[in-house]
Amino acid sequence: MEVLLPRTLEEALAMKASTPEAVPIAGGTDLMVEINFDHARPEILIDLTRVAELASWRLDGDRLFVGAGMTYARLLRELPQMRALAEASRSVGSPQIRNRGTLGGNLGTASPAGDSLPVLAAHDAEVVLISAARGERSVPWDAFLVGVKRTSARPDELILGARWRALGGPQSFSKVGTRNAMVIAVVSLCFALDPEARTARVALGSVAPTVVRAPEAEAFLAAAFEDAGVWDDPGAPVPGGTVEAFAERVVAATRPIDDVRGSAAYRRHAVRVLAQRALRWAVGERATEAMVS
């Protein structure tokens, strides 16, 4: 196996252009498992760990750009204010995996159980791709994640990172698994309120071939908050039955299957519980803020 060692993004892109079959490797926490189990045997690897341009983040106004090479450990340390992203990062693997595993690797693997992906989906993130021939292009998250472990990246492209508008309201990431650490999600859910745009966002992992949003649930909740005056007055009571009705609509957006990690019926139940919990947390957080401010 040949391993290419670019030191700059320019070198990495030139290598990917001349050898599009070369497989990028970042933390290796997905790819090395594939290689160890003989599920993949790439002839050429491009090791991206020395490419500093990938391992950075920046905030331009309210737009956050996170480079593909940012590890979960760094996301937790450097961007704790991005609550859902930090909570998702904290839930990944073990400290060793969080020190190596990257956002770009989670995107590249495109597993429906990837923990960062519901967070990106809830934020309507765009994935930024780059090639030597065409430069940068941005693709909405749902045009990038096209199937189980399938993306729309072209052979000569690398994932540069992801970009999204930082949201001002409460947000959370939660995950159900067989234990608290080192676990692949049986179900995951990212919930976010965007009081500025008066919208609610909910995205789910491990319940369909790709991460999905629940647009009907989101529209229902936004309208319920409007009717009850919750957008204008965070302390206003949420009408009885709203939380349950919202959760039912979230469940309706899922297409779970039975597999080794859980049955479809269990997944639907777990989604219902997580959706109710996430909404109650968010409503409680806004009400508390309204009380103390």
Ligand X SMILES: Cc1cc2nc3c(=O)[nH]c(=O)nc-3n(C[C@H](O)[C@H](O)[C@H](O)COP(=O)(O)OP(=O)(O)OC[C@H]3O[C@@H](n4cnc5c(N)ncnc54)[C@H](O)[C@@H]3O)c2cc1C
Establish if 11 lies at the interface with ligand X (CB under 6 A): no
Find the binder of ligand X among 9, 55, 66, 68 (CB under 6 A). Answer: 68
Specify the stretch interacting with ligand X by CB under 6 A; choose among 89-97, 138-146, 245-253, 259-267. 89-97
Residue numbers 110-129 binding ligand X by CB under 6 A? 114-115
Q: How far is CA 217 from the centre of its chain?
A: 19
Interior/surface letters 27-57, b for 16+ CB within 10 angstroms, e for the rest:
bbbbbeeebeeeeeebeebbebbebebbbeb
Sign of the torsion formed by the C-alpha atoms of 33, 131, 86 and 147: negative
Angstrom distance (rounded) from CA 244 to CA 275: 9
Q: Measured from the CB of residue 218, what is the shortest distance to ligand X in angstroms? A: 23
Q: Measured from the CB of residue 100, what is the shortest distance to ligand X in angstroms? A: 6
Establish if 6 lies at the interface with ligand X (CB under 6 A): no
- Give me the phi and psi of 65, to 5 degrees please: -115, 125
Establish if 195 lies at the interface with ligand X (CB under 6 A): no
Establish if 74 lies at the interface with ligand X (CB under 6 A): no
Find the binder of ligand X among 70, 79, 92, 187 (CB under 6 A). Answer: 92
In sequence order, the 6+-apart residues with CB closer than 8 A to the CB of 220 are 245, 246, 249
Q: Measured from the CB of residue 243, what is the shortest distance to ligand X in angstroms? A: 28
Sign of the torsion formed by the C-alpha atoms of 87, 92, 96 and 98: negative
Q: Measured from the CB of residue 221, what is the shortest distance to ligand X in angstroms? A: 26
Angstrom distance (rounded) from CA 33 to CA 97: 12
Q: Residues binding ligand X: what is the number (CB under 6 A)? A: 30
Establish if 66 lies at the interface with ligand X (CB under 6 A): no
Q: What is the DSSP letter of 112?
A: T
**Binding positions for ligand X, rule: CB under 6 A:** 23-31, 33, 48, 54, 68, 91-93, 97, 100-102, 104-106, 108-109, 114-115, 158-159, 182
